[in-house]
Amino acid sequence: MQTRLCQMLGIGFPLVAFSHCRDVVAAVSRAGGFGVFGAAGTTPEQLEIELSWIDAHTDGHPYGVDLLVPENLAFRTEAGATQGSLAGKIPNSHRAFVHDLLRRHSVDPTAGRDPREDPDRLPSYQFETAEKLMDVAFRHPIRLIANALGVPPASMRERARQHGIPCAALVGAREHAERQVAAGVDILVAQGGEAGGHCGEVSTLVLVPEVLRATQGKVPVLAAGGIMTGRQMAACMAMGAEGVWTGSVWLATVESETSPVFREKMVAARSRDTVRSRGRTGKPARQLRSAWTDAWEGPDSPAPLPMPLQGMLSEPAMARATRAAEAGNAQARALVSYFVGQGVGLVEDIPDCRQVVAGFMTDFAAALEDMQRVAQSL
Amino acid sequence: MQTRLCQMLGIGFPLVAFSHCRDVVAAVSRAGGFGVFGAAGTTPEQLEIELSWIDAHTDGHPYGVDLLVPENLAFRTEAGATQGSLAGKIPNSHRAFVHDLLRRHSVDPTAGRDPREDPDRLPSYQFETAEKLMDVAFRHPIRLIANALGVPPASMRERARQHGIPCAALVGAREHAERQVAAGVDILVAQGGEAGGHCGEVSTLVLVPEVLRATQGKVPVLAAGGIMTGRQMAACMAMGAEGVWTGSVWLATVESETSPVFREKMVAARSRDTVRSRGRTGKPARQLRSAWTDAWEGPDSPAPLPMPLQGMLSEPAMARATRAAEAGNAQARALVSYFVGQGVGLVEDIPDCRQVVAGFMTDFAAALEDMQRVAQSL
C-alpha cells in the first residue's frame, strides 16, 4: 500500500502495534506491521538495552518509540528529583488502604523488592525523565516518536525534525486534535474511549470522522480503540483513517510479557468486563475490571492520587498480587488486572505475533473483497 | 444492492431511519432508505392517525414500526391499569424535587395540560399497551416490526410471522444477541454505547464484530450507534453488518418535530456533551447533557425511579421546560435535552431528510471508491 502514512513510516501495511514488550515490537515489524516500543516507566539504562535488542531483531524493518509525557500534571518535579523525593507526597492513609487490600487477598504487601520502589529512580512521566529517555531513543534508528498523553513537548517535536522522522500524538477529542496540529505534530492517533489505557469518552467510530473533519487532511490520522481485526482496520480506513494503532491485541500473544494469569483472564473476559478508572495511574485509563479497580470505586475508598503518585502506589502492589496469583494464590488472582480495551471480548486464544499480523492482512483483504462486491451491486 | 437484508425489507440501500416523527419516516422511505416509526409513548388512537398519514405519503415505499416493550420491568401493571393507577407509586419527594428544579429555572411546573398526564391513558412500555399498539400496526402495510429493549414478546414474533414480515430487536451486548437469535428474532440491531437513547456500554466498533461472531450469519445484523455519515455506514458494512440503523441524524432535519431549541443545541454540541443517564426513563439512556441530567446526578439527588415511573415524571416536566425555552426563557433553555448519541458532534446544520439520504449515498460510494484504490495498491 502506498499512502502518505506508509511512506512516512517506511511500511506497506499500516498496522501499528504499541507494546511494552520488545519481542512484540520486533516480531510485528518483521511480519510487515510497525512496532512501537512503549518506553513509559522504563529507565534510560533499560531502554538502551531494549532498543539494542530490537535493532538486532528487526532485520532492518522500521519501528518506533512511544513516551508518556503528560501535558497536564498535578505537579512537576524539580530538576534532580527522584522517586524518593516524591514518596513523601503519598499519604500514609493511601499506603494503609493498599496494604489492607493486599492482605485481604492474602498478598504480602512488602513481599520481594520491586525495582520501581527504588528511591534513586527517576520519576515517571516527567520532562526531565523524558529528555533522558529521548537521549537514548534518538541514538537508535527509530522511524517514529510518539507521545501518549497531550501535546508532545517542544523538544520531542524538534528532535524528531532534526532526525527526519515524524512525531505522533494520541488524541481522544476533536479539540485535542486541533491543538496538536497547530503545535506541529506530524501524525495523529485518534483513540476512542473503548481503548485500553488512558482514553477519553468518545467512541472510535465517532472520533475518527470528527478528527478527520477538524484536521482536513493536514496530517495522516491513525484510528485506535477497540481494533482487534483486519475487518475493523478496513472499517476505520473506509472512514478515511490512513491506518490503525493497536495495543490490546498484542497482549494476547505468546511473545507478550503479560502474566499468564492475565492472559487467561483476557481469554475469559467479555467486552463489558473493562472499566475506565483512575485507580491505576491517577488519570482515567481503561483496564480489566478486578478487585483492584472495584476497591478504588467503593463509597469509602480514598480518591486516587494524581499522576505519578497513584502509579507509584499501584504498580508495585499489582506486581505483588500478580506474582502471588502466578504462584497459585486464588485470592490474589481476583486483583490481577492490566490496561486493556473493550476489544478484549474478541480475544479467544493466544496466537503469536506473526499469526496476528497475517490474520489482519487476510481479514483486511476479505473486507475489501466484500466491499468490491457491494460496489458492483450498486 | 441485493442483500438478504435488502430483500427482507424491500429496499436497495440499507439505511434504516428510526424516528418518532411521521414526516421523517415517510421522507426517508421515499428517498430510498427505510423509515421506522417509533411508536413508544403513543396511544393506539394516535398511532392509527400516524400510520394512516405515512401510508398516504410513502408512495408505496416500505416502512416499519418500532415498539418499546422492555423484557425486564420493575413491575408489570395489571390488565386494565391506567396511568392514574400507577401515579400513586411516584413518591411525593420526587414530584417536589422536579417541581423545585423547574421553578429554579423559572418554569411553572403545572403550566398547561400535558396529555401524558391523563390518568385514563394506557401506561407506556406495558405488554397490554403493546398489544393494542400492535393491533393497530398490523392493520397497516408495515414491512418490519422491531422491539427496542430486550427480547420481543412472543406475540410480536408470532404476529410478524403471520404477516410474513421480519421481527427485529436491538441488542447492546453479545449475550443479548445469542438470546435473541435463540428466541427466533429475524434481524438484530447491534447498538453500541455511543448511541442515543437506551444503550449499553460496548462501542459499536467492538459490538458489531462480537455480535457477528456470536450469531454466525444466522440473521442479518444492522449496526447502530454513532452513525451519521455514509462513510461510517461503509465502515460498519466492511465489518460485516448488512446495513445501519440510525436515529440521531434524523433529529437534526427540517422534517423532525424536535424543538428548534434542541436543534440549535445539537448544532452547537460536541460529541462529549452527551451523557448516559437514568434521569429520563429510569433505564440508562444517552441524551444531551443539560441541567436536567445534571440534577439527577447530584450527590443529594433522589435516585431515578424505575421505568415507567421516571418517564411519567420527566416527560411532562421536560415538555414544560421546552415550551418555556421556545418562548424565550433563557433559564428554561438550560434544562432542554433529548435522547441523542455521541454523533451529535458531527451535526453542523439542519438539512432535509432527502439531503441526508442523498448524502449517505454519496459518502458511501466515496468510501467504496477509496477502498477500491486501497485494494488495487495491495
Q: Judge whether residue B366 has pLDDT over 80.
A: yes
- B203:A193 CB<8 A: yes
For B346, which residue in chain A has the nearest alpha carbon? Answer: A210
Give whole-number Cα distances, B188 to B13, B176, B221, B276, in Å: 17, 10, 5, 22
For B230, which residue in chain A has the nearest alpha carbon? Answer: A239
Please tell me the distance from the alpha carbon of residue B338 to that of residue A363, in angstroms, as a whole number.
Answer: 39
pLDDT value at residue B149:
85
Q: pLDDT confidence of A161, banded at 50, 70, 90?
A: very high
Which of B228, B342, B374 has its CB closest to that of A202? B342
Q: Is B117 exposed, middle or buried (0-12, 13-18, 19+ CB in 10 A)?
A: middle
Query: In what helix (H) or strand (E) does residue A174 lie, and over which residues does it extend?
Result: helix A174-182
Neighbouring C-beta atoms of residue A108, cutoff 10 Å: 13
Please tell me the distance from the alpha carbon of residue A358 to that of residue A363, in angstroms, as a whole number.
Answer: 8
Query: Does B216 reach chain A within 8 Å, measured CB to CB?
Result: no
Q: Judge whether residue A74 has pLDDT over 70.
A: no
Quote the minimal CA–CA distance from B24 to chain A in Å: 23
Residue B234 domain-assigned? yes
Give whole-number Cα distances, A212 to A220, A240, A366, B223, B323, in Å: 9, 7, 25, 21, 37
- Chain A hits for B271, CB-CB cut-off 8 Å, are 173-174, 202, 206-207, 210
Portion 317-346 of B in contact with A at CB < 8 A: 341-343, 345-346
Residue A91 domain-assigned? no
Q: What is the DSSP letter of A19?
A: E
Q: Which residues contact A359 (CB under 8 A, 6 or more apart)?
A: A229, A230, A351
Name the H helices within chain B.
4-9, 22-30, 44-57, 83-87, 92-104, 127-137, 154-163, 174-183, 204-215, 230-238, 248-251, 260-268, 291-297, 309-326, 330-333, 353-376
In the structure grid, which three cell numbers stand for residue A116, read together? 520501581
pLDDT value at residue B216:
96
Please tell me the distance from the alpha carbon of residue A44 to that of residue A109, in angstroms, as a whole number.
Answer: 28
Neighbouring C-beta atoms of residue B212, cutoff 10 Å: 21
Q: Residues A128, A153: contact at Cβ < 8 Å?
A: no
* Parallel/antiparallel/unpaired status of strands A197-198 and A285-288: antiparallel
* Parallel/antiparallel/unpaired status of strands A187-191 and A167-171: parallel
* Exposed e or buried b per residue across B316-350, where buried means at least 16 C-beta atoms within 10 angstroms of its C-beta: bbbbbbbbbbeeebeebbbbbbbbbbbbbbbbeeb
CA torsion B110-B113-B114-B119 (nearest 10°) is 100
Q: Kindly provide the ipTM of the predicted complex, given to two decimals.
A: 0.96
pLDDT value at residue A348:
97
Neighbouring C-beta atoms of residue A303, cutoff 10 Å: 10
CA torsion B280-B284-B285-B289 (nearest 10°) is 70
Q: pLDDT confidence of B122, banded at 50, 70, 90?
A: confident
Give the three-class secondary structure for A175.
Answer: helix
Q: Judge whether residue A149 has pLDDT over 80.
A: yes
pLDDT value at residue B74:
59
Residue A94 domain-assigned? no
Q: pLDDT confidence of A79, banded at 50, 70, 90?
A: confident
Mean pLDDT (chain A, rounded): 95
Q: What share of chain B in percent tops pLDDT 70?
A: 98
The amino acid sitting at A254 is V
Query: What CATH number corresponds to the domain at position B139?
Result: 3.20.20.70
pLDDT value at residue B83:
87
User: Tens of pLDDT along A276-307?
Assistant: 999 999 999 999 999 999 999 988 899 999 98
pLDDT value at residue A356:
98
In degrees, rounded to 5, the angle at the alpha carbon of residue B204 between the alpha carbons of residues A286 and B165 is 150
Neighbouring C-beta atoms of residue B228, cutoff 10 Å: 27
Query: In what helix (H) or strand (E) does residue A360 lie, and over which residues does it extend?
Result: helix A353-376
- A229:B235 CB<8 A: no
Which of A3, A345, A367 has its CB closest to that of B210? A345
Query: Does B347 reach chain A within 8 Å, measured CB to CB?
Result: no
In this structure, the answer to whether residues A250 and A282 fall within a common structural domain is no
Please tell me the distance from the alpha carbon of residue A240 to that of residue A5, in angstroms, as a whole number.
Answer: 12
pLDDT value at residue B300:
84
pLDDT value at residue A78:
72
Neighbouring C-beta atoms of residue A206, cutoff 10 Å: 32
Q: Which domain holds residue A278?
A: 103-121+259-345
Quote the minimal CA–CA distance from A156 to chain B in Å: 29
Quote the minimal CA–CA distance from A320 to chain B in Å: 31
Residue B93 domain-assigned? no
Neighbouring C-beta atoms of residue B313, cutoff 10 Å: 22
Residue A97 domain-assigned? no
Once rounded to an integer, what is the mean pLDDT over residues B221-245?
98
Query: Does B122 reach chain A within 8 Å, measured CB to CB?
Result: no
Once rounded to an integer, what is the mean pLDDT over residues A203-225?
98
pLDDT value at residue A75:
63
In degrees, rounded to 5, the angle at the alpha carbon of residue A91 between the alpha carbons of residues A88 and A94 is 130
Once rounded to an integer, what is the mean pLDDT over residues A149-174?
95
pLDDT value at residue B73:
65
pLDDT value at residue A4:
94
- B1:A202 CB<8 A: no
Q: Residues B205, A209: contact at Cβ < 8 Å?
A: no
Query: Does B79 reach chain A within 8 Å, measured CB to CB?
Result: no
User: What is the domain count for chain B?
Assistant: 1
Please tell me the distance from the alpha carbon of residue B75 to that of residue B66, in angstroms, as a whole number.
Answer: 22
Q: pLDDT confidence of B201, banded at 50, 70, 90?
A: very high
Please tell me the distance from the alpha carbon of residue A66 to that of residue B256, in angstroms, as a whole number.
Answer: 47
Give whole-number Cα distances, A319 to A160, A239, A316, in Å: 34, 40, 5
Q: Judge whether residue B31 has pLDDT over 80.
A: yes
In this structure, the answer to whether residues A234 and A309 fall within a common structural domain is no
Residue B206 domain-assigned? yes
The amino acid sitting at B125 is Y
In this structure, the answer to whether residues A51 and A145 fall within a common structural domain is yes
Please tell me the distance from the alpha carbon of residue B289 to that of residue B300, in angstroms, as a whole number.
Answer: 18
In the structure grid, which three cell numbers stand for residue A350, read together? 493466544
User: Tens of pLDDT along B165-175?
Assistant: 999 999 999 99
- Chain B hits for A342, CB-CB cut-off 8 Å, are 202-203, 206
What is the secondary structure of A220-259 as a DSSP string? -EEEESS--SHHHHHHHHHTT-SEEEE-HHHHTSTT--S-
CA-based nearest residue to A13, from A357, A372, A251: A357
User: Both ends of chain B: CA-CA distance in Å?
Assistant: 26
In this structure, the answer to whether residues A234 and A115 fall within a common structural domain is no
Three-state secondary structure string covering A280-344: CCCCCEEEECCHHHHHHHCCCCCCCCCCCHHHHHHHHHHHHHHHHHHCCCHHHHCCCCCECCHHH
Please tell me the distance from the alpha carbon of residue A219 to that of residue A183, in angstroms, as a whole number.
Answer: 12
User: Tens of pLDDT along B294-322?
Assistant: 999 988 899 999 988 999 999 999 999 99
Residue A90 domain-assigned? no
Residue A96 domain-assigned? no
Once rounded to an integer, what is the mean pLDDT over residues B39-62?
96
In this structure, the answer to whether residues A145 and A266 fall within a common structural domain is no
